[in-house]
Structure 1
Amino acid sequence: MTTSLTIAQAAEATGLSVHTLRYYERIGLLDPVERRDNRHRRYTQEDLNWIDFLKKLKATGLPVRAMLHYAELRREGNTLESVIERKAMLQAHTLCVQHTLAELQENLAVLQRKLVLYDELEQAARAAGARAPRNSAPTPPTPERMAP
């Protein structure tokens, strides 16, 4: 017997909200989910695997419109045309992700060089006798504080 999950269990397992799961099904990112006689959705492992893949596409910046097109092609089955187009979509997206990673690596390198510079400036200031004001221990930035 195949194990299935309720929508609440699927939400917990995937990290998505119940609302998001319903929305994904309504717009066509998810195939219609199997329902029991009481009309409650039951998610299979295959559904969870697909949701995990969708999350990866989203996390890597693929627009929802492109995800919808990919889902449509997937529903067509493994026809030659569908396979070729899905492969091309993933190849193009992979290039975009690689470009983004390269940009992030460059940006990270700039930040790291800047930190080295500030270490050197701090050491020079200490050597020159400058003191940090009392109670001015730097607070490490949080992502919220770093937002533009």
Structure 2
Amino acid sequence: MTIAEVSRELDLSADTLRYYERIGLIPPVNRRGSGVRDYTEEDFRWAEFAKCMRGAGLSIESLIEYVALVQQGEGTEQARKDILIEERDALLARMAEMQKTLERLNYKIARYESIMLEAEKGLQGE
């Protein structure tokens, strides 16, 4: 796949894909003789993984470290798992905070709906 195809498929800009590769967020992508990136299915999965993890707010630093460990291969499994556990725990904490915020927003919206309903009742009584 070309970078344009991957870009369209994942809804990521080509610049973002190049950046992810340059900083090590995804492993280096093979290139054709002309220098054009030629994404394999595995390359595509790495880009998809990076998009998913970044979309969930995982840190670039942790993901770069994770990718580097994967590339090192055997013997790094525990370190990789530890990174994922740490990021999962941070994500759970953010989700809990977001849930509190959602509840507060719902409460505020309900209050406004109650106020508006009372105002409408007052208009009908005139």
Q: Do the structures match in fold with TM over 0.5? A: yes
How big is the shift at 1:97? 0.9
- Counterpart selection for 1:85 from 66, 73, 79: 79
Superposed, 1:1-148 pairs within 5 Å as 5-77=1-73, 79-80=74-75, 82-129=76-123
Q: Distance in 2 between matches of 1:100 and 1:25?
A: 27
Q: Distance in 1 between matches of 2:25 and 2:103?
A: 37
Rg bigger for which structure? 1
More helix, by proportion: 2
Q: Distance in 2 between matches of 1:127 and 1:71?
A: 61
Q: Distance in 1 between matches of 2:101 and 2:26?
A: 36
Match of 1:145 in 2: none
List runs of 5+ in structure 2 lacking aligned partners.
Answer: none
Q: Distance in 1 between matches of 2:65 and 2:31?
A: 25
Q: For the aligned residues, what is the CA RMSD?
A: 1.5
Q: Distance in 2 between matches of 1:15 and 1:125?
A: 45
Match of 1:146 in 2: none
Asked if the contact 2:26–2:50 (Cα under 8 Å) also holds between the matched residues in 1, the reply is no
Q: Distance in 2 between matches of 1:48 and 1:40?
A: 15
Opposite residue 34 of structure 1, the aligned amino acid is: N
Q: Distance in 1 between matches of 2:48 and 2:106?
A: 33
How big is the shift at 1:118? 1.4
Equivalenced residues, count: 124
List runs of 5+ in structure 1 lacking aligned partners.
Answer: 131-148
Opposite residue 118 of structure 2, the aligned amino acid is: A
Asked if the contact 2:30–2:39 (Cα under 8 Å) also holds between the matched residues in 1, the reply is yes
Higher RCO structure (Cα 8 Å, ≥6 apart): 2
Opposite residue 18 of structure 1, the aligned amino acid is: A
